[in-house]
Homo-oligomer: A and B are copies of this chain.
Amino acid sequence: MTASSRTVGPQPKTIAFVLYPGITLLDLAGPLQVLSALAHAVPGFAIAVVAERLAPLPTDTPLTIAADRTFDDLPEPFAVVVPGGGAPTLRAMGDRTLLGYLRRAAAGAEIVASVCTGALLLGAAGLLEGRRATTHWTYRHLLPVFGAAPATARWVEDGPVLTSAGVSAGIDMALHLAGRLAGETTARTLQYALEYDPAPPQGALDWARAPADLFAPVVDRLVRDAWPDGAAGKPADR
């Protein structure tokens, strides 16, 4: 029995988190935790984790993860959220099945969201054209390749497109989305439930001193490896 064939009553609004091999675990886990708590607390929302197949997938940690639905099971989610990663995410920009799902899901979705370099996948799927967007700070310069206007912000909302900065920013983006979907009081309760009262032991980041020189060569190498032929319109040509 599929959810769509026998469910009685109104369909829940399903927020679909999209998996592919090698994602950065926290890109997924932050918003998935926040929005799973939302779906638990508020009637009318459901959460799914979707992938091409249900087989276990690697992450950028030793943990392997698996979806509970396939792309075919959930063609029309209410919202779609795609996490990012390093080299595997750049490789996934050539995954036609994945990009096809993002395009089809986005066509009917009210919210099309990304965390970190997940924005590059939205871009590769043609979903950032003419939008303001953000991504991990070390990849932000690549956004114009996809017709997007890069923004320096924890998250950016432009029409249905909601993009967050790197990794941990997905938590902030998801709490913002929870407030939008269920009200600020509910979002605040979720924040208490997740005890999200951050106290970074090394203090706030100082962007004037960000170690760009340390990260830039790594990003440049990853991008070159992903597009060795420097095809027109690809990030290697920026």
B-contacting residues of A (Cβ < 8 Å)?
17, 24-26, 28-30, 32-33, 36, 47-49, 56, 60-69, 116, 136-137, 154, 165-169, 171-172, 175-176, 179, 184, 187-189, 191-202, 204-205, 210-211, 214-215
Q: Is the CB of B33 within 8 A of A199?
A: no
Give me 26 A-to-B residue pairs in the complex whose CB atoms sit less than 8 angstroms apart, sorted by A's number: A24-B33, A25-B32, A25-B33, A25-B36, A32-B61, A33-B61, A36-B60, A36-B61, A36-B62, A62-B68, A63-B68, A64-B66, A65-B65, A137-B192, A165-B197, A167-B194, A168-B171, A168-B194, A168-B195, A168-B196, A169-B195, A179-B201, A184-B202, A189-B211, A196-B200, A198-B200
Q: Is the CB of A165 within 8 A of B62?
A: no
Q: Which of B49, B62, B69, B215 lies in contact with A192, CB distance below 8 A? A: B215
- Chain B residues lying within 8 Å of A191, measured Cβ to Cβ, are 200, 202, 205
Q: Is the CB of B25 within 8 A of A29?
A: yes
Q: Give 10 closest A-B pairs by Cβ, nearest first.
A: A166-B195, A29-B29, A198-B198, A26-B33, A197-B205, A36-B61, A176-B201, A62-B68, A167-B194, A154-B199
- Chain B residues lying within 8 Å of A179, measured Cβ to Cβ, are 201-202
- Chain B residues lying within 8 Å of A214, measured Cβ to Cβ, are 189
Q: Is the CB of B201 within 8 A of A187?
A: yes
- CB-CB under 8 A for A166 and B189, given A62-B48, A62-B49, A66-B63: no
